[in-house]
Structure formats: structure tokens, C-alpha cells
Amino acid sequence: MANTEIAFLIFILMFLSFLGLIQYLGGPQVISPFDYFWLAGGIVGIAGTCVIATGIPCAASLIVFGLASFTKYLIFGDVYTMAMFVPLFVVLIYVVSRLARGGG
């Protein structure tokens, strides 16, 4: 049976891929291409920081990404997008950082 964190990560990535497919086929735009790059950059940055330097740098990178995402969606986005994607991004980055540190 798959681990809980890995199953959650696969589910979220499949959901984001499904949203991308819907948009590609002409459906409504729920998530912008910039949001995909923002999420990918966050995953690579957080996972890289947590693998190379655990502890305070890992927590600091989580805080910076969380605050930057919150500010990005609050100032440059609408409230509905922020309410939907900021918790998703923060939980997803936490799961990736936990897996990068060897937990789960």
C-alpha cells in the first residue's frame, strides 16, 4: 500500500494535471501558467533547501514561500484563487519537504 504523503502528492499532481488538460481543451482557466511555474519553483526550491540544509534554512524557505504565495494572491490575484490555492500550495510544499528530509 502506498504511503500517505506519496499518495497525497500523486493525487494533487494529478488534479493539477487535470486542470491543465481542461484548460488546454478550451475549458475555463482555473489556474494560470504562472501558477504552475510558481508551484514548480516552490517545490524545487523547498525540496532543495530541505535536502541540503535541514533545520532553520528549511523552515525559513517554507515561511518565505508561504508568505510570498499569500502576498502574490492577495495583491495580484483575487480572493477566491487565494482561498483555493494558498492552502494547497503550503500543504503540498510541506509534504515535499517532509519527503525530501527522509520522513514519510
Query: Range of 54's domain?
Result: 32-100
Residue 79 lies in a domain: yes
Among 27, 42, 28, 29, which residue's Cα sits nearest to residue 72?
42
Q: Is residue 89 assigned to a domain?
A: yes
98 contacts 62 by C-beta, under 8 angstroms: no
Number of domains in the chain: 1
In this structure, what C-alpha cell is assigned to residue 25?
481543451
Q: Is residue 4 part of a domain?
A: no
Q: What is the pLDDT of residues 34-79, one digit of tens each?
A: 878 887 888 788 878 877 877 788 778 878 887 887 787 777 777 7
Q: Is residue 57 within 8 Å of 49, Cβ to Cβ? A: yes
87 belongs to a structural domain: yes
Cell match 500517505: residue? 4
- 61 located within any domain: yes
Tell me the whole-structure pTM to 2 decimals.
0.65
Q: Is residue 21 part of a domain?
A: no
